[in-house]
Structure 1
Amino acid sequence: MTSSPTTHDLAVDAVDGMEQVSGTHPGYRRAHARGVCFDATFTPTGAAAELTTAAHLQQEPVPATVRFSNSEGNPHSPDGRRSGRGIAVKFHLGHGVDTDLVAVNLPVFVVSTPEHFVKLLGALKKDPHTGQNDPALLGAYIKDNPEAIPGFTAAGAMPIPVSYGTAKYWAIHAFRWTNAAGESRYVRYRWEPAAGLQELSPEDAGHQTPEYLTDELTQRLLDGPVRFTLHVQLGEDGDPTNDCTKAWPAERTEIAVGHLDITATSADQEHWAGQVFDPTRVTPGIDLSDDPVLAFRTRAYAESFARRSHGG
């Protein structure tokens, strides 16, 4: 009898698969390889205080570090590609305690389990001679796993942003909030840019410099902070908490729980390049949902960190 792969085995297979898709780039993350960090302040609105005891969602502002990135594992891919973008926010709660919120510019993910993620990476693997993947393999994967269709549909339509500060980002997973009375409910997060959604045409994007998103945001900050508002969708009975390929109904109640003001490029980029922004790093008042992809991410991140921290 063949035993099921362990979480560690799956993490190794996942990172191996990322390397087969994007190549191996020593010292870089296996996904979201190229990014830049910024100093920020998060100011809660107070709207979440009755729903969770989480320290950063009460009344007082907290400092934060924000990492914007492109989703690809190749750090040399130009910004003008139609590709995923990410925002990872590390809230500094004091006394050396942090909590992280990691989001991407897709409302749902393309796989519902770690096993499917490994299979998808196999379908995306590039031919070593041509450097291209086989569309037939990806088509076969989607046919066998139709839950991937909403995510791939969204990926195909994702805009090429004018700025990291003019894109919308979703945390894709559900989390459980608990208040001081011990009452719990599930939520999903979304960042909305105060500047509004602004995108480039593929033609205009092709004329941009390879790292225009970093340069643009640095220049934009000269005119003042770049703001995002954190919106939270409140789940109801029956809304899936264990499947990040499924969106919740649009009519669910939403609240604005805080404003993120990005103020300057972080001084020590080398330090932050070596840090991990982990969506499972939560704080009292917030717990992980039963989403297996969410739980798996910390093992995959650890495997990626181990390789890059040892020069791989």
Structure 2
Amino acid sequence: MSVQPPDGAHPQLAVDIVDRLEWVSGLYPGYRRAHAKGACYRAVFLPTGAAAEYTTAAHLQGDPVPATVRFSNFSGNPYIWDRTRSARGLSVAFHLPGGVATDLVSVSQPVFVAATPQAFRNFLEAAEPNMFTGSPDPEVVRKYATEHTEAMRGLRAVKNTPIPVSYATLRYWAVHAFVWLDKMRRRTAVRYRWEPEAGVQQLSDERAAEKAPTYLSDELTERLASTTVAFQLKVQIAEPGDPTDDCTVLWPHDRTEITVGRLLVTGPVEDQAKWDKRMFDPTRLVPGIELSDDPVLRFRSQVYAVSHGRRTQGK
């Protein structure tokens, strides 16, 4: 069994961010510091082959690829009720021959709240719960967002995220830009989005208030008992001048988009405890895909490593 390095082996900023995630959601030893409540499922990814002219990445060519997915709620509180209005997550691990894996991590909002790791740390400081109410001070958050327009865009996206009928009826974005490389090493910047084949379906606040605290996982279990859950992987292709270093800004909607595959979720994994320990890391890539110059994307593995180290040590 591997031993995780102490926090001191990681950049101080990564440690600070995880500390502040704990302050915002509370500390729950053994759980993820974000997306604590979730479960893993078996899946298969069926590439269309449309990506082959842009990238040599093995999982985007033509052959079916086994996968493991994790649906989750954003909060670091593993006991949060499903009926809250919040971002949800869909993480996918693609399993390639030889024990190789690559991950795609996505959320139910198209942009992030910060363009740099330091800005995210500052945002979490503004969102720190008040010691008397146990909730963030809305005036402090509003003042921060007013002074930082990128945070306002991210908060607006959170506010507009649907309360879903199901994890299967949400649209999920990978938020960051990535770079594809073809056989000639030509580079193409792309962004990913999972489109639910069941369509986007949401609940009103009134209908959501009637739902059980675990209705999302309950509904998914019931749905998978009779059918598969399917998503199409859409990829937006950048044009010159489209920013690749800012995950708070969308690219224009008229950019070329291709469908590169279909994800079929078939049922829960047999060993939930084993998979719950896994770290889904968007920087875990394979040849044919590289990180963009997005500083938040490049820093995420450091934050994940701190969080993973703490929870695997029962902290």
Shorter-chain-normalised TM-score: which range?
over 0.9
The one-character-per-residue Cα deviations of 1:146-205 (angstroms, maximum 9, x if unpaired) are 122222111111110000000000000000000112111100000000000101111111
> 75, 78, 83: which one pairs with 1:75?
78
Instruction: Report runs of 4+ in structure 1 exceeding 3 Å deviation.
Output: none
SS in 1 for 2:11: helix
Amino acid at match of 2:176: H
Q: 2:30 and 2:209 mapped to 1: Cα distance?
A: 28
Q: Aligned equivalents of 1:35 and 1:271: distance in 2?
A: 13
**1:299 and 1:173 mapped to 2: Cα distance?**
16
Q: 135, 138, 141: which one pairs with 1:135?
A: 138
Residues 1:180 and 2:183 are matched in the alignment? yes
Count of residue correspondences? 307
Q: Secondary structure at the match of 1:177?
A: strand
Give CA deviations for 1:31-82 in whole Å, capped at 9, x if unaligned. 0001100000000000001100000000100000000000001011100000
Question: Which position in structure 2 is the counterpart of 1:259?
Answer: 262
Report the TM-score when normalising by structure 1: 0.97
Correspondences of 1:58-73 after superposition (within 5 Å): 58-73=61-76
Cα separation, 2, equivalents of 1:194 and 1:91: 20
1:129, CA displacement in angstroms?
Answer: 2.6
DSSP 3-state at the match of 1:223: coil
- Counterpart of 2:310 in structure 1: which amino acid? R
Q: Is the 8 A contact 1:102 1:171 kept in 2?
A: yes
C-alpha separation in 2, matches of 1:143 and 1:232: 32
CA distance in 1, matches of 2:112, 2:162: 16
Question: Which letter does structure 1 place at the counterpart of 2:224?
Answer: L
**Residue type of the alignment partner of 2:71:** F
Q: What does 1:1-312 correspond to in 2, within 5 Å?
A: 8-312=11-315
CA contact (8 A) 1:85 1:105 kept: yes
SS in 2 for 1:64: strand
Instruction: Report percent identity of matched pairs.
Output: 55
User: What SS does the corresponding residue of 1:36 show, helix, strand or coil?
Assistant: strand
Structure 1 residue 7 displacement after superposition? 6.8
Unaligned runs of 5+ in 1: 1-5
The answer to whether the 8 Å contact 1:110/1:147 transfers is: yes
Aligned-pair distance for 1:128?
2.3
The offset of 1:143, in angstroms, is: 1.8
- In the alignment, the residues of structure 1 paired with residue 53 and residue 135 of structure 2 have an alpha-carbon distance, to the nearest angstrom, of 51
CA distance in 2, matches of 1:277, 1:63: 15
Q: Which stretch has the larger CA shift, 172-181 or 146-155? A: 146-155
RMSD: 1.0
